[in-house]
């Protein structure tokens, strides 16, 4: 009993450690990031099995046995509906929440597209399991839109907290406000979400300083957080991570048609193809800014409202900042000209075909 009082507890007999490791490379240098941690001392602590590489015939049989439909084909069957108080996304259903604070339930303009519906179906699965959700993706791919649409469908109130490089640990728990000319400190959205059972949306979590993210990491991993006034927050399990990427060309084209129903389809196809190339360049490191669906949507909305304005002038609004860098400007112009968008064109750019 005295051992228990010192918070020393026996290991459960069912506890096991399952480790996966690659065989050590003989003669590898630790300076190259290949430290040999799996040495003779550690090997004696495991009952280990060697997994040999698959033969070519075995690998071929395995690949041919996988009868997974194309994701584009699967996405056609994705739908979202609410019937008799039940939300159904794809093949997953969940009850719609009866919110007391209707004003905090987000309601944004959102056009359903297959790729985002697939992400929301995965989110709903983990949400039903009681897990936290972490959406990871480039800027402008629609993470905030997906979250707001997801909470709107579930009718769940939201508390919003945006982090930045000047965020401190104090601002995580306290929020200053002015009442009758006096500065008052009240609970932050994080504390309000815990108290009232709302969904806390933390935006730009990667922009916060390390000491702030460490506090959030501790809150998620240990499940508790002590506030300045002595109160303690108890949290759930670790985050469930979902990757949010730009929509596939077919999904993006279908979404843009809804934003700009009067914009000619050839124009939309040019934009989808051009921005697809620019994103590939960003992934390869040729350009630094990942031009996302957000920029394309803004262009289409502009063309929908001002159909008489030329495509080149509208597109220039997105790329004007990068035009100050000569190398970047040339790369962008080449990519846009390739798909028939004459931004920055001049008489010398016209090339006649040979007979």
66 part of a folded domain: no
**pLDDT at res. 47:** 74
Model confidence band, residue 153 (pLDDT cutoffs 50, 70, 90): very high
Helix (H, G, I), strand (E, B) or coil at 77: coil
126 part of a folded domain: yes
- Looking at the chain, the whole-number percentage of residues with pLDDT higher than 90 is 13
60 part of a folded domain: no
**Which of 4-13, 91-100, 128-137, 188-197 is predicted with the least confidence, judged by mean pLDDT?**
4-13
Total domains present in the chain = 2
Torsion sign over Cα 35, 37, 43, 44: positive
Model confidence band, residue 228 (pLDDT cutoffs 50, 70, 90): low
Task: Give the span between the Cα atoms of 335 and 276, in whole angstroms.
Answer: 10
195 and 285 assigned to the same domain: no
265 part of a folded domain: yes
Last residue within a domain, chosen from 189, 211, 243: 243
Task: Give the span between the Cα atoms of 78 and 74, in whole angstroms.
Answer: 7
Q: Are strands 232-234 and 224-226 parallel, antiparallel or unpaired?
A: antiparallel
Helix (H, G, I), strand (E, B) or coil at 179: strand
Contact by Cβ (8 Å): 216, 223: no
259 and 178 assigned to the same domain: no
97 and 144 assigned to the same domain: yes
233 and 101 assigned to the same domain: yes
pLDDT tens per residue across span 8-35: 777 878 877 777 777 666 555 555 555 6
92 and 162 assigned to the same domain: yes
pLDDT tens per residue across span 162-206: 998 888 888 888 887 888 888 888 888 888 888 888 888 999 888
Q: Look up the domain containing 283 and give its range.
A: 249-349
255 and 282 assigned to the same domain: yes
Domain CATH for 141: 3.40.50
269 part of a folded domain: yes
Quote the pTM value.
Answer: 0.52
**pLDDT at res. 319:** 76
Q: Which residue has the higher pLDDT, 79 or 272?
A: 272
Q: Which two tokens stand for residue 237?
A: 């399990």
Q: Is the pLDDT of residue 239 over 80?
A: no
56 part of a folded domain: no
Contacts of 135 (CB under 8 A, 6+ apart): 119, 143, 146, 147, 242, 244
316 and 281 assigned to the same domain: yes
Contact by Cβ (8 Å): 150, 96: no
Rg from Cα positions in the chain: 27
Contacts of 137 (CB under 8 A, 6+ apart): 143, 243, 244, 245
**pLDDT at res. 353:** 47
Q: Which residue has the higher pLDDT, 354 or 92?
A: 92
**pLDDT at res. 193:** 84
User: Mean pLDDT over residues 52-66, rounded?
Assistant: 82
Helix (H, G, I), strand (E, B) or coil at 170: helix
10 part of a folded domain: no
What's the angle, vertex CA 165, arms to CA 160 and CA 166, rounded to 5?
85
Name the helix (H) or strand (E) containing 191: helix 189-196
In sequence order, the β-bridge partners of residue 199 are 158
Q: Which two tokens stand for residue 262?
A: 């009067």
Last residue within a domain, chosen from 203, 228, 243: 243
Q: Is the pLDDT of residue 152 over 90?
A: yes
**Exposure pattern of 161-179 as b/e (b: 16+ CB <10 Å)?**
bebeeebeeebbbbbeeee
**pLDDT at res. 148:** 93
- Under DSSP, the state recorded for 130 is T
- State the average pLDDT for the chain: 80
Contacts of 340 (CB under 8 A, 6+ apart): 270
**pLDDT at res. 137:** 87
User: Mean pLDDT over residues 222-237, rounded?
Assistant: 69
89 and 231 assigned to the same domain: yes
Task: Give the span between the Cα atoms of 213 and 205, in whole angstroms.
Answer: 8
111 burial type by CB count under 10 A (0-12 exposed, 13-18 middle, 19+ buried): middle
229 and 312 assigned to the same domain: no
220 and 117 assigned to the same domain: yes
Q: What does each C-alpha distance from 319 to 187, 260, 330, 332, 344 come to in angstroms?
A: 41, 21, 11, 8, 10
Model confidence band, residue 77 (pLDDT cutoffs 50, 70, 90): low
Last residue within a domain, chosen from 243, 269, 304: 243
199 and 144 assigned to the same domain: yes
197 part of a folded domain: yes
**Which of 2-6, 145-149, 194-198 is predicted with the least confidence, judged by mean pLDDT?**
2-6
222 and 259 assigned to the same domain: no
């Amino acid at each position: 009993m005295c051992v228990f009082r010192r918070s020393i507890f026996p290991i459960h007999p069912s506890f096991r450690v399952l480790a996966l490791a690659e065989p050590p490379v003989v003669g590898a240098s630790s300076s190259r990031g290949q430290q040999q941690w799996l040495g003779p001392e550690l090997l004696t602590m495991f009952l280990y099995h060697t997994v040999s590489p698959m033969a070519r015939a075995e690998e071929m049989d395995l690949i041919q046995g996988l009868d997974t439909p194309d994701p584009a084909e699967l996405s056609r069957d994705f739908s979202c509906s609410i019937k008799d108080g039940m939300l159904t996304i794809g093949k997953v259903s969940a009850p719609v929440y009866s919110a007391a604070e209707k004003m905090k339930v987000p309601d944004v303009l959102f056009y359903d597209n297959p790729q985002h519906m697939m992400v929301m179906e995965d989110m709903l699965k983990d949400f039903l399991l009681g897990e936290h959700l972490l959406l990871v993706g480039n800027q402008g791919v629609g993470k905030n839109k997906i979250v707001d649409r997801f909470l709107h469908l579930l009718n769940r109130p939201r508390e919003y907290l945006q982090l930045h490089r000047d965020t401190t640990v104090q601002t995580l728990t306290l929020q200053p406000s002015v009442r009758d000319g006096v500065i008052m400190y009240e609970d932050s959205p994080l504390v309000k979400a815990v108290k009232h059972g709302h969904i806390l949306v933390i935006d730009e979590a990667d922009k916060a300083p390390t000491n702030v993210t460490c506090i959030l990491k501790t809150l998620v991993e240990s499940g508790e957080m002590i506030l300045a006034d002595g109160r303690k927050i108890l949290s759930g399990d670790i985050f469930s991570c979902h990757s949010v990427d730009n929509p596939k060309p077919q999904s993006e084209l279908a979404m843009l048609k809804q934003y700009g129903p009067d914009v000619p389809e050839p124009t939309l196809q040019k934009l989808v193809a051009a921005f697809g190339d620019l994103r590939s360049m960003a992934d390869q490191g040729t350009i630094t800014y990942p031009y996302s669906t957000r920029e394309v949507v803004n262009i289409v909305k502009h063309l929908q409202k001002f159909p008489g304005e030329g495509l080149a002038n509208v597109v220039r609004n997105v790329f004007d900042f990068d035009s100050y860098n000569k190398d970047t400007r040339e790369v962008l112009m080449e990519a846009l000209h390739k798909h028939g968008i004459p931004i920055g064109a001049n008489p010398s750019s016209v090339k006649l075909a040979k007979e």
